Copies of this chain bind each other. A is one copy, B any other.
Amino acid sequence: MSVADKTDQISRRSFLEALGVSAGSSMMLRASAAMGLAAASTSCGGGGGSDANASPAPQTPPPPPPDDGGSLASPIPSDWPSNAGANKSVIILGAGIAGMTCAFEMLKLGYTCTILEASNRAGGRNRTIRAGDQIEEVDSNQICNFDADDNLYFNPGPARIPHHHEFILGYCREFGVALEVFTNDNKAALLHSTSAFGGQPQIARSMVADTRGRISELLANAVNQNQLDQQFSDGDKTNIIAMLRQYGDLDSQLNYTGSSRAGFEGQENTGNPDRESMLSPKQLIAIVNSNFWQSQQEFSQSIDQQGTLLQPVGGMDNIAKAFEARVGSTITYEAVVTQIRKTTNGVNVFYQEAGAAETSMSADYCICTIPAPVLVNIPNDFSSAHQSAIQGFQYSQSGKMAFQSRRFWEQDHNIYGGISWTDQDITQIWYPNNGFGQDEGIIVGAYTFGTTAGSNFASQSPEQRISSGTSQGSQLHPEYANEVNRGISVSWPKVPFQLGAWGISDPGILVNADGNIYFAGEHLSILQGWQEGAVLSAYHAVNGIVINDTT
C-alpha cells in the first residue's frame, strides 16, 4: 500500500510470467481479469461521470502525429510470446481505440491484421472537431464554423484522462502525444439550480467552503459537548476539535462565521472593487436543499474524476492519429460490415465498401468492437446467448455541444478551465483548458449525460440545440445572449456506426469469445465510457486469442 514499501511490489511482467506462461491459460486469463480487464459477469464499474467519445464524418486522412515526446514503451502486459501470431490472421471490426490497440499489439506478435472501419476516419468516438469538419447524424449534417486555430477545437467524445489510466497514458508516452492538465474542479466555476438560491448561480468556492464550515460546526460542537455515542479521551477530543476547526475554518467558539476560502464579495467578476468583504455564510439547510451535493460538489472526488486529469495538447484525436500512424496500413476505410459468420476453423466477414458490392474476407479470428446498438442489426452466427446480450445492451444517450466565443469567462470572471453545473438539460458548461489568455475560445455549452437530458438533446435538431443551449447557458452567463456563436453539437445516439455514447449494461457473456469471434470495446470493460476501458478490453481479447494459439 505504501510507496516506500517497494520490495513487495509485484511487477506486472513477473506477475504474468509467473501465472500465464508457466501455469497455463486459465491462470493467465484469471490474472488478466485481476488486472482490471473485464471478467465474465463482473461489475460494469464506473457509473456516473463517464466520458463519451467520436463520430465518423468525411475527413481527409490525418498527417502523422508529432513524435517529439518520450520514447518509453507503454506499460502493456507484453508477456505474450512474440511469435504467437505466426501464420494467423485476424479481422478487427472498428478502428476505434479498442480496435487499433488490438492491431497495434497483434502486429507485434506476428498476426496478419485487417481492420474494417465503417467510416472514413480512424478513432471512433475519439474525435476532435475543428474548423471545416463535418458532423453527420442520422438526420442532419453540420459543418464546424470555428475559426481555424490550434486552440479552437471541441472534443465531443472522450475529453479527459485520469492520471491512473496508465495504459492509455502509456501509449501517449510511447507515441509522443503531448499532454496538459484537464481541470474538473475549478473553485471559480458556477453551481446553478433553477430552484435553489432564487435561481442565482453560486460560485463553487462558496458552496465548498460553506459546506465544510457547516458540517464542521455541527460536529465540533457535538464533540465538545460530549453528545456523541462515541466517547473520546480529553486529548483526542481536543485534537478532533482542532482538526474540525481547521477543516471548516471555524472560529475559536467553534462557530462558522464565513471564510476567506469562500471568496470575497464580488470576486466572481474582474474589476472587483473590494478584496476584503467576506461573504455571508450560507445556512446548512440552504446548502442541503440546493442539492448541489448530489453530484456537482462530489463529482471530482470520485476515483476517475479526481485530479490530476490530462488532455492531449491540441485535441483528443492526437491519440487516434498516433495509433493510426502505426496501424493505418491495416485499415480499410468506409467498409461497412454486413454479415459476421463462423467457418469451420475461423470467421468470414462480409462487408461493403462505398459504392461497391458486398464482398467477404476470411480469417482465423475476428475481434468485433462494433458498438452493440449497431451490431444488433448485423446478421451473424453468434450464439443465442451472445445475440441476446447484444440485443439488450443499453447505451448512454449523451451528447455535447460547443460554441466559439470571446473568452468572457476568463476576461470578466477569472474562470480558467473547469466545469460549471446546472440542473437544466445542458447539465454542464466546460471552459477550455488550453489557450488561456487568447481572445477567442471554445466553450462546451452542454454535456447531456443524464438519461433525460441526453434523450431530449438527441430529439432536437442541431438548430434547436443551439437555441435551447444558448438560452439555458444564459442562466449562468448572461454573456451567452450576445457572445456565443457558431454552435455545433454531437448527439452520440444519432451518429451513424455509433448510435450511443458508451455502454452501460453488464458485459455479461460478451467478455467470452463465441468460437473464434472475440468482442472488445469500452462497453465490455470495468471502465465503461473511458478510453482506458477500450484498451483493457482490447488486451482481454488479444490475450484470449494468444492463449488459444499457444496452449
Contact = CB atoms under 8 A, between A and B. Distances in A.
A9 interface: yes
A341 interface: no
Nearest to A185: B307
Which residue, of A2, A205, A228, A478, has the highest number of chain B Cβ atoms within 10 A?
A: A2
Interface string A196-214: 0101111101001101100
Q: Which of A3, A225, A279, A284 has the most B CB atoms < 10 Å from its CB?
A: A3
A263 B304 CA distance: 9
Tell me the number of copies of this protein: 2
A354 interface: no
B215 A225 contact: no
Given A183-B181, A239-B289, A240-B288, A4 B478 contact: yes
A248 to B, nearest CB: 9
Nearest to A31: B273
Contacts of A227: 222, 227-229
Contacts of A173: 410-411, 437
A243 B4 contact: no
Contacts of A266: 1, 9
A72 interface: yes
A437 B261 contact: no
Interface residues of A, number: 120
A69 to B, nearest CB: 5
A65 to B, nearest CB: 13
A244 B215 contact: yes
A418 B306 CA distance: 12
A-B complex: 10 closest residue pairs judged by Cβ atoms: A181-B181, A2-B200, A36-B275, A12-B271, A179-B436, A187-B306, A173-B437, A308-B416, A227-B227, A219-B219
23 contacts: A2-B200, A3-B413, A5-B200, A10-B271, A15-B271, A15-B273, A69-B438, A72-B439, A163-B186, A173-B411, A173-B437, A179-B437, A181-B417, A205-B306, A219-B222, A222-B228, A227-B227, A239-B289, A243-B288, A243-B293, A247-B298, A310-B416, A310-B436
